[in-house]
């Protein structure tokens, strides 16, 4: 379990590390409109995101797709901006909106997977057999992502259910803050 455990821990660490708060902000923004009772919808959303980043993580690590790092580092906060803006502009009750959210989570997962791949590629070095390490890292990412989702849903529960904050006000307040931080990140990372 040596190598597997190492890459599993690295996956958890990579997504939960406060230095890489952009991934945390994205998952938080994705979950903000939902409460604990919406766990099935959140599960589908996170699964779509996972599918997207798993595809590009594997393709990037195996050098099947190569996108310049400065573009990925710029596009990650752009995905956060779009997700936060979507939270600000919609009420999440329309079925078309829910379907759009699943599609956007999948698409944005593709971008985030390329961001994860740079880190994983630097860990792997010139390793020949990387399937096990890739699997362990991806499982670790998912475990860390589940921790973020649970935290986001519990914080929302606290404010909306316990402290009686209006659900829409909570979503707008938090999405506005995330939008502002992501805008600063996008400006700082502009590749042109």
On whether the CB atoms of residues 27 and 52 are closer than 8 A, the answer is no
**Least confident span in 89-103, 109-123, 163-177:** 89-103
CA distance 96 to 157: 25
Q: How confident is the model at residue 115 (pLDDT cuts 50, 70, 90)?
A: confident
State the pLDDT at residue 58: 85
Mean pLDDT of 4-12: 88
Q: How confident is the model at residue 166 (pLDDT cuts 50, 70, 90)?
A: very high
Mean pLDDT of 153-170: 93
User: Is the predicted pLDDT of residue 7 greater than 60, yes or no?
Assistant: yes
Residue 119, SS3? helix
State the pLDDT at residue 134: 83
What are the helix (H) ranges across the chain? 2-16, 21-31, 39-61, 69-89, 95-124, 131-157, 167-188
User: Is the predicted pLDDT of residue 16 greater than 80, yes or no?
Assistant: yes
User: Is the predicted pLDDT of residue 188 greater than 90, yes or no?
Assistant: yes
**pLDDT, mean over the chain:** 87
pTM (predicted TM-score): 0.86
On whether the CB atoms of residues 87 and 175 are closer than 8 A, the answer is yes
Mean pLDDT of 50-61: 87
State the pLDDT at residue 158: 94
Mean pLDDT of 130-158: 89
State the pLDDT at residue 119: 75
66/176: higher pLDDT? 176
pLDDT tens digits for range 66-114: 889 899 999 999 999 999 999 998 866 556 667 788 888 999 989 988 8
CA distance 61 to 29: 27
State the pLDDT at residue 21: 86
């Amino acid at each position: 379990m040596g190598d597997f455990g190492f890459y599993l821990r690295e996956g958890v660490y990579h997504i939960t590390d406060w230095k890489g708060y952009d991934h945390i902000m994205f998952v938080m923004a994705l979950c903000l409109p939902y409460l604990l009772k919406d766990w099935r919808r959140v599960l589908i959303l996170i699964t779509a995101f996972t599918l997207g980043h798993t595809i590009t993580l594997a393709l990037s690590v195996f050098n099947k797709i190569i996108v310049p790092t400065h573009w990925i580092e710029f596009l990650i906060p752009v995905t956060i901006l779009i997700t936060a803006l979507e939270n600000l502009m919609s009420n999440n009750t329309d079925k078309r909106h829910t379907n759009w959210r699943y599609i956007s989570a999948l698409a944005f997962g593709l971008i985030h997977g390329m961001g994860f791949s740079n880190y994983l590629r630097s860990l792997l070095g010139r390793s020949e057999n990387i399937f096990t390490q890739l699997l362990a890292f991806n499982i670790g990412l998912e475990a860390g992502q589940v921790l973020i989702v649970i935290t986001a849903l519990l914080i929302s529960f606290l404010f909306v259910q316990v402290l009686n904050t209006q659900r829409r006000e909570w979503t707008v307040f938090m999405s506005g803050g995330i939008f502002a931080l992501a805008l600063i990140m996008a400006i700082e990372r502009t590749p042109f």
